Amino acid sequence: MKIIFLVNVFLAVLALPMVAFAAGDAHGSAIAVVFLMIAVVLIAAKLSSLVERFGQPSVLGELVMGVVLGNLALIGITIFEPIKENSIIQFLAELGVVILLFQVGLESNIQKMRKVGIRAFAVAIIGVIVPFVLGTYVAGPLLLPGQSMIAYMFLGAALTATSVGITARVFKDLGKLQLPAAQTVLGAAVIDDVLGLVILAVISAMATLGAVSLGVISWIIAKAVLFLIGAIVIGQLSAPYIGKFFSKIHNGVSMKFSLAFGFCLIFAYAANQIGLAPIVGAFAAGLILDPVHFKSFKDQAIVDDVRNSIKDAPDSELKQKISYNIKTHAHRHIEELMEPVAHFLVPIFFIMVGMGVKLETLFNGKILLVALAVTLIAFVGKIIAGVAAEKGSRWLVGWGMVPRGEVGLIFASIGLSLGVISDSIFSIIVIMVILTTLVVPSILASILKKQKVQVV
């Protein structure tokens, strides 16, 4: 120890005129500050997993931790404020939700999705129409008289899109992604993400242009059809060949990881290019990639390891059995390889969603009351959609559709930036998003515990 200490002391003695220099090295410092921000977010997220002790899904802990960190400025603690504005942290959060949906896609099964397809579609349609109509024609004119029709439509639109990320995390945290109800909710959430974006596009066009030409819309629709069919068909047909081709270059796990992750990112990009949310592409990529693809890659280290541990076993049949068993595991699943990357990035997303919540909007009594009424509509509109689900899981599906999360916030901020909605409608939407997001995880968890739903 002594020598290394002395060396270190010596190094330190020599090293430090650096600080004077570092002041001029703004780029390096800016990057290092982001390192610290990531560390703070990760450790805060892990501290918040204490909620699991109380049977709550850890995503709730992360959201609440985010709300706390994001609002400490109210009591004068402003050190966490720069995290909210940092563009690299924002990027990592976006990448986090893309990876989460990729994981959810990987765990979802295209066969099971097909089974729930019609039901999911029905749930999505009802879950979009009911809140939109209630928001636009009931809540808006009754609770906020004197504003423009387009403002009411923005309010209605903000009520439509379920935040698939939050619901997916709850099901994932509790190990229930394989439930048919979970598949229905995820399918429906993806569908109404799409429907919500369509509504938003139409309303935005109405607010800015007045009208949109039918020819333009048709052309865009044609492109989209080609894209989605193309992505699924080409993806399913080509994945095994791509796997085989790259395995000839290198058949280690790092190749498998890079291919799968690259696939996910390209789909996310492609979805964005045709105007869908990147998460829709990531989910599709996960759905297409199957454990059977990329089977040529293995983790030789695990194989060797286990072979060594059983090499002097007396019973050769058992030996073979274990050897075979573990060899299968050596084909590490893509899910397993994605997991540490998800540990890194997914909590950043949920902490950031929580940090985006502005508690001071809760301080105005009148707005708060209207917001509570709008939130009620948000709950009712989605819970009603649950009737389209199969018997026995209606309640679960309905509640699963409730969280609006970041999608509602995006709608609100676009409405505000177009000058179409007022600050008060903005605050109302934000409160609705907070409440739907914060309340649902624990309700879903308790429904899942009470209801012994059958796992297929």
Q: Which of residues 45-74 bind a copy of itself (CB under 8 A)?
A: 45-47, 49-50, 52-53
Query: Site mask, a copy of itself, residues 115-154, x = CB under 8 A?
Result: --xx-xx---------------------------------
Q: Which stretch binds a copy of itself (CB under 8 A): 62-70, 142-150, 323-331, 365-373?
A: 323-331
Among 191, 353, 385, 433, binds a copy of itself (CB under 8 A): 191
CA 250 to chain centre: 32
Close Cβ partners of 257 (under 8 Å, ≥ 6 residues apart):
334, 337, 338
Q: In this complex, which beta carbon is closest to a copy of itself, that of residue 230 or of residue 392?
A: 230
Site for a copy of itself in 11-40 (CB under 8 A): 11-22, 24, 28-29, 31-36, 38-39
Close Cβ partners of 279 (under 8 Å, ≥ 6 residues apart):
97, 98, 101, 164, 165, 193, 268, 271
- Output the DSSP codes for 228-288: HHHHHHHHHHHHHHHHHHHHHH--SHHHHHHHHHHHHHHHHHHHHHTTS-HHHHHHHHHHH
- Output the DSSP codes for 398-444: HHHT---HHHHHHHHHHHHHTT-S-HHHHHHHHHHHHHHHHHHHHHH
User: Which residue type is seen at 395?
Assistant: W
Q: Which residue has the tokens 């060899």?
A: 327
Cβ pair 400, 444 in contact under 8 A: yes
Among 129, 143, 206, 274, binds a copy of itself (CB under 8 A): 274
Min dist. Cβ of residue 187 to a copy of itself (A): 8
Q: Does 420 bind a copy of itself (CB under 8 A)?
A: no
Min dist. Cβ of residue 341 to a copy of itself (A): 5
Distances (CA, A) of 340 to 74, 230, 368, 412: 34, 31, 40, 33
Min dist. Cβ of residue 325 to a copy of itself (A): 5
Q: Which stretch binds a copy of itself (CB under 8 A): 140-148, 339-347, 387-395, 397-405?
A: 339-347
Cβ pair 89, 41 in contact under 8 A: yes
Site for a copy of itself in 81-110 (CB under 8 A): 87-88, 91, 94-95, 98, 110
180-208 vs 405-417: helix crossing angle, rounded to 10: 0
Site for a copy of itself in 281-320 (CB under 8 A): 305-306, 309-310, 313-315, 318
Q: Does 329 bind a copy of itself (CB under 8 A)?
A: yes
Among 148, 325, 446, 454, binds a copy of itself (CB under 8 A): 325
Min dist. Cβ of residue 270 to a copy of itself (A): 9
Q: Enumerate the H helices of 52-179 as residue ranges.
A: 58-71, 81-85, 87-107, 110-133, 140-143, 149-158, 164-173
Min dist. Cβ of residue 273 to a copy of itself (A): 7
Which tokens in the block code for residue 397? 């599906």
Min dist. Cβ of residue 340 to a copy of itself (A): 5
Q: In this complex, which beta carbon is closest to a copy of itself, that of residue 162 or of residue 375?
A: 162
Q: Does 269 bind a copy of itself (CB under 8 A)?
A: yes
Q: Does 338 bind a copy of itself (CB under 8 A)?
A: yes
Which tokens in the block code for residue 72? 């400490």
Question: What is the total count of residues that contact a copy of itself (CB under 8 A)?
Answer: 119
Min dist. Cβ of residue 305 to a copy of itself (A): 7
Site for a copy of itself in 225-244 (CB under 8 A): 225, 227-229, 232
